Structures are given as C-alpha cells and as structure tokens.
Structure 1
Amino acid sequence: MTEEVWAKLEPLLPPRSEHPLGCHNPRVPDRKAMEAILLVLRTGMQWQALKATGICHPSSAYRRFREWTEAGVFREFWRLGFVAYEQRCPTEAPSARVRETRSTDAQDENVTSVLTSPKPHTWITPQVGHFLPYG
C-alpha cells in the first residue's frame, strides 16, 4: 500500500481500544492489518491463506475487517475515492453513465440487468467492473 493511500485511510480508522486485561499480545499495527485485508479483497484468497504471507494472522485481519466494516471505514474510503474520481473525470465517472442510461432507453442488455438486479447489494458497474456498495 502506498503512503498516499495510507495517508487517506488512516484518519478513517476508529480509535484503538486497549485490551481490558492489558496483558495479551500486542495488537497488530493497523497498516499491517489493512495490507492483509486489502490483499484478501483484491485477490479473493481465503483469510486462512494469510498465514503463508506472514503479513499478519488471519484471525487478526478478519477481526479488524469486521471492526472497520462496522465503523464504515471501507464505505467512506470508497466514497472519498469515488468523489475524487468524479471531480477529476466528471463525464467518465460511473455515476454519469448510470444517469445517462436511466435517461434513455437501455441499449445494453447487461446494463439493464445490472440496474434491475433483484440483489441490489451485488450491483456491478459494467464499465469499470467493480462492485458498488449499496445501502
């Protein structure tokens, strides 16, 4: 993960809470946990496969993933990136394409099926091939 990405992600993380007993193993650094999480999300590998990478233990990464998901970290990071992209390329942004599709008859069968999917949490933008968070 680049310094630029980490500089944008780190402020979104919730404050750490100390272990109630204070005597357990030290917590994995946030950056290491985030690198492990992003590796799993990027590659689709199983959490248990993190053992072979040595980045951090799978249970630490998954626990932090759940904690940060509940805190809205990934949703906010996605939103910030999406806003920056729309500001940089307003006519090429996926939302511009969706607006355009909705305002005309859908020519592309794939776009129609995506926009009318019975599972909106699995919408994919055909133009960029990424999942759009929903909700």
Structure 2
Amino acid sequence: MPVLPSRLTEPLWDQFAALLPKRPTFDPAHPLGCHRRRISERIVFDKLLQILRCGCSYEAIADSTCSATTIRNRRDEWISLGVFSRLKQIALDAYDRVVGLVLDQISVDGAITKAPRRRRSGRTLTRRPGQTGYETVGHDRRLRHPARSRPGRRQPSRLATSGTNSGSLERTWSTS
C-alpha cells in the first residue's frame, strides 16, 4: 500500500530521478566482475517517503526489499551530492509558479507566554471555593487539608516532664 497517492509521488520521483547520477546495476570495480545488485533508487526513495510520512524509525520500515542500513547510507549519499537541497529549490519554484510565493510581503510573528487562567463569573478556577493554599483534592474528590491548617484542630498535645519530679519517669500531658 503506498504511503502517498501516485499522483503526488510520480512527479516528485521524476524530478528526483533527474537529479541522481547514473549508476550501473553491478559494481564495475569488483574483482570478479559481479556482485549483489544495487537496490533500486526508487525503492529507497519510497522507503524515505514512508519514514517522512509515518515518522517511524528506519528499522520499522526496513523489510526484505531494503535494509535500514541501505536506507541510511543512500540518504547520506544523496545528502552529500546535494540532491535534497536542489529538490527543495525545485519544489519552491514550482509552488511559486502555481500559487505564487511572495516572500517580501510575508510577516512572521511569534510569542511564547503562559496561557491565561480560565475565568467564570469573575473568579479563577484554579482553586475550589473555600480552598486555601497548599491544599489538594484526593482521589475521592474531597479536599485534603494539611494538618496545621485544618480549622478547629490543633496538633496533638505533647508529653512534658513535670516540674516537681524531673528525674523520675513521671510525665504529664501539656496542652501547649
């Protein structure tokens, strides 16, 4: 199943193939005069389109027709020949002819800011009603208050040594 319709890939392949240098099927420098056939540029081109379209790894696209190493090696070879940069320029020129690309009238603006808080009836929704700072909502949707800020509750009273018998183990409860 093709990754893109043939009406898109065929013109692109025609332009791409015209930029590639002619290579023999077998390596003429091989000492025995024969070697494994070179994988077709069209197969590698289709695999690169699949990688660009699907965003997956070379290993995921590789199959019995072409290995991941071949795809990477051929990509590096084509980059060093400048084929992709020339193809990009051809695509920009074609787009300029068909649609019209007026770069001197384009304005680009950008900003990175925090998104504003949502508001409803003049109140922010970041906290629930009656919720103070450092409170969380539990898995059962009930507010969980920190121990020191619970209304009407204090920390548990501490044990204090009695002043009368400081050396003994007798201790009394203090309410401080």
When the two structures are superposed, what TM-score results if normalisation uses the length of structure 2?
Answer: 0.49
Q: Distance in 2 between matches of 1:109 and 1:84?
A: 32
Q: Distance in 2 between matches of 1:51 and 1:81?
A: 27
- The letter for the 2-side match of 1:5 is L
State the Cα deviation string for residues 7-59 of structure 1 (Å, max 9, x = none): 1111111232653314321011110111111211222211111234x442111
1:109 alignment partner, one of 105, 111, 114: 111
1:43 alignment partner, one of 40, 54, 64: 54
Q: Which consecutive residues of structure 2, in runs of 5 or more, have no partner in the other structure?
A: 1-5, 113-176
If each structure's strand is expressed as a fraction of its own residues, which one has the higher value? 2
Q: SS of the counterpart of 1:26?
A: coil
If each structure's helix is expressed as a fraction of its own residues, which one has the higher value? 1
- The letter for the 2-side match of 1:32 is I
Q: Within 5 A, what are the aligned runs for 1:1-135?
A: 1=6, 2-16=9-23, 18-19=26-27, 20-21=29-30, 22-52=33-63, 54-90=64-100, 93=101, 96=103, 99-101=105-107, 107-109=109-111
When the two structures are superposed, what TM-score results if normalisation uses the length of structure 1?
Answer: 0.62
Aligned residues: 101
Measure how far apart 1:99 and its partner are. Answer: 4.5
Higher RCO, 1 or 2 (CA under 8 Å, sep at least 6)? 1
User: Percentage identity across aligned positions?
Assistant: 26
| Structure 2 CA distance for partners of 1:107 and 1:84, relative to 1, 3 Å | same
- The letter for the 2-side match of 1:57 is S
Q: Which has the greater radius of gyration?
A: 2
Q: Which consecutive residues of structure 1, in runs of 5 or more, have no partner in the other structure?
A: 111-135
Q: Superposition RMSD on alpha carbons, in Å? A: 2.4
* 4+ residue segments displaced more than 3 Å: none
| Structure 2 CA distance for partners of 1:82 and 1:5, relative to 1, 3 Å | same
- The letter for the 2-side match of 1:11 is A
